Amino acid sequence: MKQVVVLTLLSFFLFWSCSSSKPAQESEAEEVIPKPGWVTSRPMRKDFYIGIAVVNKNHFPGTYAEEARKLALQDMASEIDVDIESTSMLFTFENNQGGFRDEYRSYARMTTNKQLRRFELEDIYETDEKYWVYYSLSKAVYQKDKNERMEKALSNSKQFVTEAQELKKKSRYRDAFVQYMRALRAVEEFAGEPLRTEYNGSEVFWGNALPAEINGFAASLQFDNAGSQREVLWGLAPQNEAVTAVLRDVNGNTVAGIPVRITYSEGFIRPRISLTNVRGEVTANLTKIREKKEQQKLTFTVDLLEMFNAAEGEPADNFMEELIERISAPRKERSLHVQAPRIMVQYTAQLPRGVIADQSPEQAAVERLNKLGFRVVTNESTADLVFDVRVSAKLLEPMADMHRCDITVNLVVKELRRGETLYNETLPNIRGVQLSDAAAAQNGIYKTADELNEVAVPRFYRSLLK
């Protein structure tokens, strides 16, 4: 009886196992979908741009479809050629100031990607781990859409130029500049295109005409011819800290409210950007000249980018910035002739009775100042600085038959024109040791000369150029 029960149960489990595995196998077979041909081999379609992308679902859970779409459109944009015509705005700026074709191609592809429309979804394929998407866009449809956008951009650009010309007639130069920059931005996307159009009754290539129009307007404003080069001394603030340039129009009238960028050949200067005042003036405030280079310069340049950004309320994109920087904005250089300060050394010494004053500290200071580039003079009337060295000596009690003398040095440097103290230092406890008081004092004086030559004078020099 037990054998019958066991055999019956065994038969039941075998039947259940076989019957349950069959649907699983059939389900698995139904889930395996063969890959479409476009997944393994990119289609070649003469009249269409195509974009194909694949993403890992695990990397973008919940957003993999959108990520694949973005990548597919980037792929499509990379198929669209970026041509640069010889009659284009880009070519005009390249001839004037060097090329930036690579920057334009990168910008154009990015812009094309943003402007893609009317593309169609061809197919989707996915597995548990990956997701593929395939888009297409008719080349004829794309070109028609591009031409429509180009015509609209040209119309806007020409309107901005008309407005700029009217503003110029009213001497509203800042507003006119802004409208010219907007005219440039309107056709920025098509910088590599010839942009053939009608303008003032003639057919022109707007890519050439617009830069010429803007450069012509910029040339109508000029900075005054400055006087002779400015004489300044390194290490000191100039006698007149302000260096000024004046902006005028073709009629000689001063132009107010224009931002001017100020640059200094040797580094930073304040203010970096300043507006011309009601007299058309813009001023660079020179502080201490720290560089010893003999010929230096300040440059004043009308800042078209600053005007554009201020009017738009946001910075221009990188490519627009490149275009604006290639416009020949009004600029003026002011030369600085930099010389070393003239310095006179004064030396006084208070020594113990019977000790003969030694001039070696003065000689050491003069020698080191000369090596550091100062112009050492002997007459205060011709000096810019006075280097005052005051030495005092004090004899100490002998120790172990050796005589000792303590030297204290007070070092003060004054600028004569302003009456200001530029440097003040005390060098204490320079000790001379010898077999007599006189020899100990003289030993201390020699050490003082070394201290001035090796430490004190270089330290003053570094502070002057700090």
Tell whether the model's pLDDT for residue 19 goes beyond 50. no
Specify the residue for token string 């020179």. 286
Q: How far apart are alpha carbons 152 and 146 in whole angstroms? A: 10
346 in Cβ contact with 387 (< 8 Å): yes
Q: How far apart are alpha carbons 58 and 27 in whole angstroms? A: 24
Q: How far apart are alpha carbons 208 and 204 in whole angstroms? A: 8
Tell whether the model's pLDDT for residue 229 goes beyond 70. yes
Specify the residue for token string 């004037």. 96
**Which pLDDT score is estimated for 99?**
62
Region 427-447: mean pLDDT is 90
How would DSSP label each residue in 27-63? Answer: HHHHH--PPPHHHHS----TTEEEEEEEEETTTSTTT
Residue 205 CA, distance from chain mean position: 33
Q: Which of 93-107, 157-171, 244-258, 394-408 shows the lowest per-residue confidence on average (mean pLDDT)?
A: 93-107
Residue 343, SS3? strand
Q: What is the mean pLDDT of the chain?
A: 86
458 in Cβ contact with 368 (< 8 Å): yes
Give backbone dihedrals phi and psi of 239, rounded to 5 degrees, phi first.
Answer: -60, -45
**Which pLDDT score is estimated for 269?**
83
**Which pLDDT score is estimated for 213?**
93
Q: Which residues of 142-180 are buried (b: 16+ CB within 10 A; e: fewer)?
A: beebbeeebeebbeebbebbebbeebbeeeebbbbbbbb
**Which pLDDT score is estimated for 409?**
94
Q: How far apart are alpha carbons 32 and 163 in whole angstroms? A: 65
How would DSSP label each residue in 285-296? Answer: E---B----SEE
Alpha helices in 327-456 (DSSP H): 360-371, 437-451
How far are the Cα atoms of 106, 141, 188, 191, 318 from residue 315, in angstroms, in the given order?
19, 33, 15, 19, 9
Q: Which of 98-112, 209-223, 399-413, 418-432 shows the lowest per-residue confidence on average (mean pLDDT)?
A: 98-112
Give percent of the chain with pLDDT exceeding 90.
60
Q: How far apart are alpha carbons 194 and 89 in whole angstroms? A: 7
Task: Report cis status (omega within 30 of 0) of the bond before 330.
Answer: no
Residue 224, SS3? coil
- CA angle in degrees (0–180, nearest 5) for 238-459-422: 35
Q: What's the whole-model pTM score?
A: 0.71
**Which pLDDT score is estimated for 429?**
82
Residues 6+ apart with CB under 8 A from 308: 178, 181, 182, 185, 316, 320, 324
Give 53-100 pLDDT, tens digit per residue.
Answer: 999 999 999 899 999 999 999 898 888 877 777 777 777 777 555 566
List the domains of the chain with CATH numbers.
32-220 (no CATH), 228-302+329-339 (2.60.40.10), 342-464 (3.40.50.10070)
Give 171-228 pLDDT, tens digit per residue.
Answer: 999 999 999 999 999 998 888 888 999 998 899 999 889 989 999 999 999 998 765 6
Q: How far apart are alpha carbons 186 and 163 in whole angstroms? A: 14
How far are the Cα atoms of 25, 413, 445 from residue 454, in angstroms, in the given order?
94, 17, 14
Other beta carbons within 10 Å of 104: 23
284 in Cβ contact with 269 (< 8 Å): yes
438 vs 85, more confident: 438
Q: How far apart are alpha carbons 171 and 177 in whole angstroms? A: 11
**Which pLDDT score is estimated for 173?**
94
407 in Cβ contact with 445 (< 8 Å): yes
**Which pLDDT score is estimated for 403?**
93
